[in-house]
């Protein structure tokens, strides 16, 4: 019974498949009505391809640094007595000082005493040298006399030898006195040098940028007293990726520099130095520019300010250039559209340098060609277009 039921179901399924196939063949023979759909023209605006001068610039972040920047520290330990200039005016931040001007003084009573003691030792040593010279001169005369008498046979050899020995001892005593004098003079010089270290003077013309201690403080060679900067000329330093070094090495480079306190006064400076070492971590080299910074400027440059350095790398004179927004990127290709009558044609172009919103065209376009500058993102190659006037957005005749 089950076998018969299975056979009936198989025949039923085959009949259904056969019927569906026949209906599909009949349907495929019926004609299909087609409707032609014309694409409306895309409104675009065009501009002729022109030539201009382009400068490719690398924009780098930099900082303003003083030409000289040092922390004034004492070489000896002691109590800070004064922080004043030679004229008695106090040392404060912003005070301008001249090279060699006294800017700090340590207590030096003990140093004065040491100098006086060393000076007295020198005087004593000099007196000893004078006495030793007198003794040596007397011993030398006695030796000559004894040698003369011995030659005449008047005195014994022993007497002559005593005179010779006395002369040699006097010569040795003189040498020793001279050595003691040199030692005393060296000690005096050392005491005077140590005393001079109690008076700290400005190593160059500059401004007091910071004052770290007050009079009365105990200081040592590890204690910073003041920070002195020279800002009549400042250094502007920035880091450049090492791959750009060939573009700036061996030629004169004029950079345009903007400082945040002078947004309306760009600076022009020539590259002064390329530091010899490259940072191992960032793979960047340091460039240095020097800029005059006169103290009477109403907005002087101060160390620590941010600077934007615009460095010219490549210059193109009268080269083809188009707005960057007119270029469409498709994977690794660059496409622009030109108008051929009322039809848009795609052109693959080769790009060069960039300045602002302009891009150099090396290949793919000719000067004067009408290029689509608005509406290009809605176009395909061969699409119909409707050209609008630049002024009123109306179709050009």
CATH number of the domain bearing residue 255:
2.40.30.170
- Kind of pairing between the strands at 218-219 and 78-82: antiparallel
Residues 94 and 162 in one domain: no
Q: Tell me the Cα Rg of the chain.
A: 48
pLDDT tens-place string over residues 106-134 = 999 999 999 999 999 999 999 999 999 99
Is the pLDDT confidence value at 153 over 70?
yes
Residues 368 and 289 in one domain: no
SS3 (DSSP) at 295: coil
SS3 (DSSP) at 46: strand
Residues 242 and 278 in one domain: yes
Q: Is residue 23 part of a domain?
A: no
Residues 100 and 209 in one domain: yes
Q: Is residue 64 part of a domain?
A: no
Picking from 181, 197, 213, the residue at the C-terminal end of a domain is 197
pLDDT tens-place string over residues 287-307 = 999 999 988 888 889 999 999
CATH code for the domain in which residue 330 is found: 2.40.420.20
Q: Is residue 248 part of a domain?
A: yes
**CB under 8 Å to 142, separation ≥6 — which residues?**
163, 166, 167
Closest CA to 50 of 358, 285, 263: 358
Picking from 315, 334, 360, the residue at the C-terminal end of a domain is 315
Q: Is residue 112 part of a domain?
A: yes
Q: Is residue 372 part of a domain?
A: yes
Closest CA to 283 of 334, 315, 333, 245: 245
Cα angle 166, 171, 172; round to 5: 100
Residues 187 and 240 in one domain: no
- Kind of pairing between the strands at 42-48 and 385-387: parallel
Residues 214 and 78 in one domain: yes
Residues 112 and 189 in one domain: yes
The total of other beta-carbon atoms located within 10 Å of residue 103's CB is 24
Residues 171 and 185 in one domain: yes
The total of other beta-carbon atoms located within 10 Å of residue 106's CB is 22
SS3 (DSSP) at 165: helix
Q: Residues 328, 335: contact at Cβ < 8 Å?
A: yes
Cα angle 155, 151, 156; round to 5: 25
pLDDT at 381: 92
pLDDT tens-place string over residues 204-258 = 999 999 999 999 999 999 999 999 999 999 999 999 999 999 988 888 888 999 9
Closest CA to 325 of 339, 317, 338, 336: 336
Residues 375 and 346 in one domain: yes
Give the phi and the psi of residue 389 in degrees, each rounded to 5.
-75, 155
Residues 241 and 160 in one domain: no
Structure tokens at 165: 């020995």
Q: Where are the beta strands (DSSP E) in the chain?
A: 42-48, 50-72, 78-82, 96-97, 102-106, 199-201, 206-211, 218-219, 226-241, 254-259, 262-278, 284-292, 306-323, 328-330, 333-340, 343-348, 350-355, 358-363, 370-374, 385-387
Q: Which residues of 315-337 are buried (b: 16+ CB within 10 A; e: fewer)?
A: ebeebbbbeeebbeeeeeebbbb
**Domain boundaries, position 260:** 230-315
Residues 115 and 190 in one domain: yes
Percent of the chain with pLDDT strictly greater than 70: 88
**CB under 8 Å to 21, separation ≥6 — which residues?**
none
- 89 pLDDT tier (thresholds 50, 70, 90): confident
Structure tokens at 237: 């330093």
Residues 101 and 206 in one domain: yes
Picking from 224, 239, 270, the residue at the C-terminal end of a domain is 224
pLDDT tens-place string over residues 168-194 = 999 999 999 999 999 999 999 999 999
* Number of domains observed in the structure of the chain: 4
SS3 (DSSP) at 331: coil
CATH code for the domain in which residue 97 is found: 2.40.50
Instruction: State how far the alpha carbon of 263 is from the alpha carbons of 24, 258, 259, 297, 308, in Å.
Output: 78, 6, 6, 15, 10
């Amino acid at each position: 019974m089950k076998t018969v039921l299975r056979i009936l179901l198989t025949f039923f399924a085959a009949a259904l498949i056969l019927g569906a196939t026949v209906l599909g063949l009949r349907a495929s023979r019926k004609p299909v009505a087609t409707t032609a759909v014309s694409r409306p023209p895309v409104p675009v605006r065009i501009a002729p391809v022109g030539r201009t001068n382009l400068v490719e610039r690398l924009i780098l972040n930099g900082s303003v640094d003083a030409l000289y920047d040092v922390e004034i520290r004492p070489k000896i330990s002691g109590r800070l007595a004064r922080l004043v200039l030679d004229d008695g005016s106090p040392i404060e931040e912003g005070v301008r000082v001249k090279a060699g001007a006294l800017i700090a003084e340590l207590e030096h009573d003990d140093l004065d005493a040491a100098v006086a003691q060393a000076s007295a030792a020198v005087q004593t040593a000099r007196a000893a040298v004078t006495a030793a010279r007198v003794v040596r001169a007397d011993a030398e005369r006695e030796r000559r006399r004894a040698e003369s008498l011995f030659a005449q046979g008047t005195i014994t050899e022993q007497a002559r030898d005593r005179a010779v020995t006395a002369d040699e001892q006097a010569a040795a005593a003189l040498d020793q006195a001279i050595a003691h004098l040199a030692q005393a003079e060296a000690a005096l010089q050392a005491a005077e040098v140590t005393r001079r270290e109690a008076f700290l003077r400005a190593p160059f013309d500059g401004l007091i940028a910071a004052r770290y201690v007050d009079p009365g403080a105990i200081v040592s060679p590890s204690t910073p007293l003041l920070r002195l900067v020279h800002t009549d000329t400042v250094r502007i330093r920035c880091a450049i990726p090492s791959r750009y070094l060939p573009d700036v090495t061996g030629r004169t480079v004029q950079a345009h520099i903007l400082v945040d306190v002078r947004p309306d006064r760009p600076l022009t400076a020539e590259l002064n130095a390329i530091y010899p070492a490259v940072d191992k971590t960032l793979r960047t080299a340091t460039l240095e520019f020097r800029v005059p910074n006169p103290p009477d400027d109403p907005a002087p440059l101060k160390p620590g300010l941010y600077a934007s350095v615009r460095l010219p790398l490549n210059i193109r004179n009268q080269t083809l250039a188009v707005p960057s927004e007119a270029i469409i990127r498709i994977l690794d290709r660059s496409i622009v559209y030109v108008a051929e009558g009322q039809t848009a044609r795609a052109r693959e172009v080769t790009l060069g340098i960039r300045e602002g919103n302009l891009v150099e065209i090396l290949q793919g376009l000719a000067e004067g060609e009408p290029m689509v500058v608005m509406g290009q993102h809605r176009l395909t190659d061969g699409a119909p277009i409707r050209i609008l006037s630049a002024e009123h957005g109306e179709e050009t005749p």
